[in-house]
Structure 1
């Protein structure tokens, strides 16, 4: 029996798992899932966290409880070198897919890797790419009641920054955005991805013929560092014993206030100063890799960090990084996931998203999938 796989894009980041699983033509909006990359190891924490058994999982002999909504839980650190192919990543990916309701159809799942991990010596790092796909093909079992987990029928892995460019280039129906198409036909375009753990810069070659290797790269100055800096300054200013929870700090970027002992305190100076300092670090890395950018057609800003800074300082703040033509992606935290969804549905050949029933079972367990051409 043949199965038509449902194309899904998932940006399985160190801070948040963002999923794009469709487009609603009635509302003109994409369908998203947004789940924090937060879990604790073991099952003993379920009752103390007030969590339900449906958020506890087992894979490869290890158990995890997802703590997506508990701000005060000390979650496992995802900023490890092996996170893309870890049991923790596999658990969070499967949890997010299930929470999006993707449990009724087999999936063609596209995920990503940062530029410096996706490429090795200027070519796709097939060893790491296949290691990530093999990891996600391993089974995950839910503890207790809950919706069935999604079936991952086939996979692909793309560079996260390139996924963001596909998002800008392709419309929801697979047609080309004429402005971006004209732009990339004449000049390179830089994608600046302010992610959780990393800052990714990829300079896309004219006509989307790859990336300029020497002008692309990754730096470990993700937005989690910015959130930690703001948290530390709030803690110091108000002489607190407890560390401010990251989710509460993220709220302060949008509101410029932080609630202490039930009272809203103004933290606008802390937030705005920290954002400008972070943008200075981004600018330094941009100049290191790209130079002044005078030979670019534009720079596209994406990622959760872009969303946070935009909410705190507005779009004009990104002129601190690049003074040329700037494109701030709509819903920038979902740009990678949207690009991965578009890649799955419009770049991958339709026949690649069809599997036989027995192939689906083997893919779910342990079979890697070759990269699409």
Structure 2
């Protein structure tokens, strides 16, 4: 078996892939957006612009940031399909490292990683995820990384490992971790400094895609068909009027488009807060992670108003999980 030269921690979410690795003792991270469509692009006119044309079996795909024909990744089956394989390899290429044999640690939503009936590892899903990422894929006029080993971890909870260790919590502290991604809402209750995980919960029907889909529909009504990536960027940069004017063609409908987005953000926040209060009514602390965390922070703070500043938005919430997994495995390697 080919030996891996490097190990990458990859939070391969449906909207973005977050990847972290250690380079000469330094932790490095990047975020790679998912936006793929079928068929290939023609070569770029500018010599410094690279085209990423992939093939999986007989099917051709290309990375296309702006196409309204970009394929949807906001569904749980994404975790096991061609688009997930494409997203992981595309993120590896974006590191700028020369392609080589690598081992990777990837993630699954809590609802996929654990069995609903007994909260034990769903070995069938874990094996399915591994097998998907070991499949053959090629890059036209380019070389890809060779994935030689795949490990799978659950989403959300590892994202607060360092935060909890540095927070001075007691062995009796119950911390609720809320991870809102593109497709799923994952939650867990951690006791002490990760002394144990007392409960986990996931909802595959609540995610940032609720807002992104609303943004795409509103943009289409304003003569502005857009990819999921562009719609997601509009949600993030909705306060930037110049950017909004660039992507929404009918300027008379800009305020209406922004209103539709804000309404959906409020709806999303209310849904997450409701689910959280049912799952963990009175935790001692609440930590928000994941790409959707900033969108729901106010709603969650209001739901747990008595906790005050103990409801915390984790720094760089979107990439926190990949960073923590990377550090965790680096420490394990040093201890070995």
Separation (CA, whole Å) in 2 of partners of 1:62 and 1:47: 16
- Which residue in the other structure is 1:22 paired with? 22
Greater shift, 2-11 or 327-336, is seen at 2-11
TM-superposed CA distance for 1:202, in Å, is 1.4
- Which residue in the other structure is 2:324 paired with? 339
Aligned residues: 321
TM-score if structure 2 supplies the norm length?
Answer: 0.82
Taking a change above 3 Å as real, the CA distance of residues 113 and 270 of structure 1, as seen in their structure-2 partners, is same
Per-residue CA distance 1:238-289 (angstroms, 9 max, x = gap) = x534445442553354343331448594465444443222110111111222
- Which residue in the other structure is 1:193 paired with? 179
Q: Does 1:118 align with 2:113?
A: yes
Per-residue CA distance 1:284-329 (angstroms, 9 max, x = gap) = 1112222x2x2x231110111114x27xxxx545413433221211
TM-superposed CA distance for 1:192, in Å, is 0.6
What SS does the corresponding residue of 2:292 show, helix, strand or coil? helix
Separation (CA, whole Å) in 2 of partners of 1:109 and 1:340: 11
Q: Does 1:240 align with 2:227?
A: no
Match of 1:330 among 315, 330, 333: 315
TM-superposed CA distance for 1:212, in Å, is 2.7
Taking a change above 3 Å as real, the CA distance of residues 23 and 268 of structure 1, as seen in their structure-2 partners, is farther
TM-superposed CA distance for 1:128, in Å, is 1.0
Taking a change above 3 Å as real, the CA distance of residues 78 and 231 of structure 1, as seen in their structure-2 partners, is closer
- Which residue in the other structure is 2:234 paired with? 251
TM-score if structure 1 supplies the norm length?
Answer: 0.75
Per-residue CA distance 1:302-361 (angstroms, 9 max, x = gap) = 111114x27xxxx5454134332212111111112112212321246765xxxxxxxxxx
Taking a change above 3 Å as real, the CA distance of residues 339 and 126 of structure 1, as seen in their structure-2 partners, is same
- Which residue in the other structure is 2:269 paired with? 279
Task: Please show how residues 1-373 of structure 1 align to structure 2 within 5 Å.
Answer: 3=3, 5-22=5-22, 30-43=27-40, 46-47=41-42, 54-67=51-64, 69=65, 71-120=66-115, 121-144=118-141, 146=142, 148-166=143-161, 168-169=163-164, 177-179=165-167, 182-183=168-169, 185-213=171-199, 216-233=201-218, 240-246=222-228, 247-248=230-231, 250-256=233-239, 257=241, 258-259=244-245, 260-261=248-249, 265-266=254-255, 269-290=259-280, 292=281, 294=282, 296-307=283-294, 309=295, 316-323=298-305, 324=307, 325-347=310-332
